[in-house]
Structure 1
Amino acid sequence: MDTRTVAVFSLGGTIAMTTDPVTGGVVPALSAHDLLAAVPALQHLDVDLRVHDFRNVPSASLGFDDLDALTEALADAFRTGCDGAVVTQGTDTIEETAYLLDLLLPGDQPVVVTGAMRNPTLPGPDGPANIHAAVIAAAAPELTGAGTVVVLGDEIHAARTVRKSHSTSPAAFTSPATGPLGRIHEGRVHLHAPLAARTTFTRPTTGAAARVGLYTATLGDDGTLLAAMAEACDGLVVAAFGVGHVPEGFVGILERAASRIPVVLASRIGNGPVLRGTYGFPGSEKDLLARGLIRAGHLDAHKARLLLHTLLRQGRTPAEITAAFATAAH
């Protein structure tokens, strides 16, 4: 294989943290070059690295402006000849940033998002191994057309399905519905199955801000807080019980909201679909969809929020939003 070119963008996070002498806690401090210097095995790969210090913040502080700028920077890197890219960041929001990049970057070059569960001050930090695996993945022809993937612990996960499923474990990232796309061993990518088709939404934004709420159904909720949130939103995602059920008291609130703004019905479980028409009681999935809510399908609530936010910022019509979810959430 010819020498491959991979862009590396560092955003901060646990992988780039060191101890703050004032607080005694760890904070983002290491540069992209610092991170790569901790991985001497990269020198043995036939890969040309183009390194960018992009941000240096905890991932909880990343915003849509940061991701817009990163999307443009990645597109520029691909236009100037990069075969793939690695993004290092904090693990708190990896599943969200990866999915947003997957929606907005239509090219065949893979984007590999990685991070670390153990910061560099701890015994056995996982950041260097994850960076090594991520560079291998970004340079691999096998991932051409894969879009954005998440690589930690030598596992490759599709952005659409990946979840952070544990708060501290080094094996925190899983794809509950599908399992990983593949794994990396002996310096190569090994896929378990052919890559799935992707759906991207790349229309320019209208410039308007979009406030998309995410409301989780819980036992005994009378809907008062839901009504207040719906009034403040341009779009709303409801993380419902099970296959798409809410308390009966939610029904009128959601129907009124859906007459004004797009309201997406997702599941709070994060594994498995919202159904279409199995249950028929007030507040069931069949009832809510008949009242104008949009089915999230297999998308979890957090990813449904990102898709709705993207579509609203692009100025999509209600019909286009419904059609987009039908395509992306199958």
Structure 2
Amino acid sequence: MADDGRRVAVISLGGTIAMTTQTDAGATPTMSANDLVTAVPGLADTGIRVDVHDFRQLPGASLTVSDLLELATYVETLDVDGVVITQGTDTIEESAYLLDLVTSGDLPIVVTGAMRNASMAGADGPANVLAAIRVAASDDVHGTGCVVVFAEEIHAARWVRKTHATSPTAFNSYPGPIGYVAEDRVRITARPTLASLAINLREASSPAHTTIYTVGLGDDGTLLNAVGAQAHGVVIAAFGAGHVPKACLDVLSDLAKRMPVVLTTRTGSGPVLQRTYGFPGSESDLLERGLISGGTLDPVKARVLLQLLLMTGADTDRILHAFSTV
């Protein structure tokens, strides 16, 4: 087979894929990376050599930026043909994009997990791990950046989103997957343009507090003002193509003078516009007030990028450049 002799590292961070139900209190992470790999039927038939690494044993919601920066450093020390990271699905869309921004080189990095823990009927972890290992071992994946493999679909880290709380097909992306696995073969059908941001993970040491503020109907800016008082940077999840209530404008203008404020859309896909609308609170008005366009990044991804930039001490010009190139 084409994958014979390939060597892939499987690194476990915990999450549902590593959980079993031990008590009436519910599922908790108990399985090691070796347990996960051993449970995969048909893996030996691929000819891929697998190294296992236990890095964390946490639910996805408890992973931190520091955990992932340490993981990225660890990945760069491995002498393998590809890497699979298994983790909780709650934060896959964030961790995959963070790894995409800070890892260098052409090493395939694949993130996967499970929606059903190992104690449940129809547990999806083994199938996802097998597909992820095949993807990590494939020459065709080089040059796609970090990817998420779920339900035999391959999603670019920049676009992937968790769109359902419980479905085994919870992960989707717009404009769609960049490939899939079928009949044991990895097929790449599109290649994302990779941004060159040169974020040095070893410089990401400055403390930074960032958050997402979602604008709602009738919002008067009171809570936004309170949030801004505690933050070093804020991502605004705005209406439509980048619109907010007129009552929020004074607060946003003040915040934009003190910190980076990134404008995104809460819709989940599509771009923030620049000059289509001209009313107070429109995208053109907000950009004139000093807000930074998040472009096509959703609020979650924009916060990851903003967090890393602030942790590396980026100034306003560098932040503007970074968001203009992703």
Are the aligned partners of 2:40 and 2:126 in contact in 1 as well (CA < 8 Å)?
yes
The equivalences for 1:153-172 within 5 A come to: 153-172=151-170
Residue 201 (structure 1) shift = 3.3
Cα distance between partner residues in 2 of 1:136 and 1:228: 48
Query: How many residues are matched?
Result: 323
The equivalences for 1:150-299 within 5 A come to: 150-175=148-173, 177-203=174-200, 204-205=202-203, 207-299=205-297
Q: Please tell me the residue identity of whatever aligns with 1:48.
A: R
Q: Does 1:129 align with 2:127?
A: yes
Q: Please tell me the residue identity of whatever aligns with 1:257.
A: L
Paired residue for 2:6? 4
Paired residue for 2:304? 306
Cα distance between partner residues in 1 of 2:184 and 2:193: 23
Residue 265 (structure 1) shift = 0.3
Three-state SS of the structure 2 residue aligned to 1:232 is coil
**TM-score, length of structure 1 as denominator length:** 0.95
Residue 45 (structure 1) shift = 1.4
Paired residue for 2:60? 59
Deviations 1:11-46 (A, max 9, x none): 11111111122x441111011000111013111112
Structure 2 runs not aligned, ≥5 long:
none
Are the aligned partners of 2:197 and 2:322 in contact in 1 as well (CA < 8 Å)?
no
Aligned-CA RMSD value:
1.2
Q: Please tell me the residue identity of whatever aligns with 1:313.
A: M
Which consecutive segments of 4 or more residues in structure 1 shift more than 6 A?
none
Deviations 1:45-100 (A, max 9, x none): 121211101111110000111111111111111xxx21110000111110010000
Cα distance between partner residues in 2 of 1:62 and 1:98: 12
Q: Please tell me the residue identity of whatever aligns with 1:8.
A: V
Paired residue for 1:118? 116
Three-state SS of the structure 2 residue aligned to 1:76 is coil
Residue 110 (structure 1) shift = 1.1
The equivalences for 1:5-24 within 5 A come to: 5-21=7-23, 23-24=24-25
Q: Please tell me the residue identity of whatever aligns with 1:274.
A: V
Cα distance between partner residues in 1 of 2:205 and 2:176: 37
Residue 118 (structure 1) shift = 1.0
Cα distance between partner residues in 2 of 1:141 and 1:196: 18
Are the aligned partners of 1:274 and 1:298 in contact in 2 as well (CA < 8 Å)?
yes
Q: Please tell me the residue identity of whatever aligns with 1:137.
A: V
Q: Does 1:41 align with 2:38?
A: no
Q: Please tell me the residue identity of whatever aligns with 2:133.
A: V
Cα distance between partner residues in 1 of 2:143 and 2:191: 11
Residue 4 (structure 1) shift = 1.3
Residue 240 (structure 1) shift = 0.3
Residue 195 (structure 1) shift = 4.4
Three-state SS of the structure 1 residue aligned to 2:278 is coil
Paired residue for 2:72? 71
Cα distance between partner residues in 2 of 1:131 and 1:48: 14
The equivalences for 1:78-93 within 5 A come to: 81-93=79-91
Are the aligned partners of 1:94 and 1:113 in contact in 2 as well (CA < 8 Å)?
yes
Are the aligned partners of 1:106 and 1:202 in contact in 2 as well (CA < 8 Å)?
no
Cα distance between partner residues in 2 of 1:46 and 1:198: 34
Residue 202 (structure 1) shift = 2.4
Are the aligned partners of 2:111 and 2:132 in contact in 1 as well (CA < 8 Å)?
yes
Deviations 1:242-267 (A, max 9, x none): 00000111111111111110010011
Cα distance between partner residues in 2 of 1:69 and 1:162: 23
Are the aligned partners of 2:199 and 2:309 in contact in 1 as well (CA < 8 Å)?
no
Cα distance between partner residues in 2 of 1:194 and 1:269: 24
**TM-score, length of structure 2 as denominator length:** 0.97
Are the aligned partners of 1:19 and 1:26 in contact in 2 as well (CA < 8 Å)?
yes
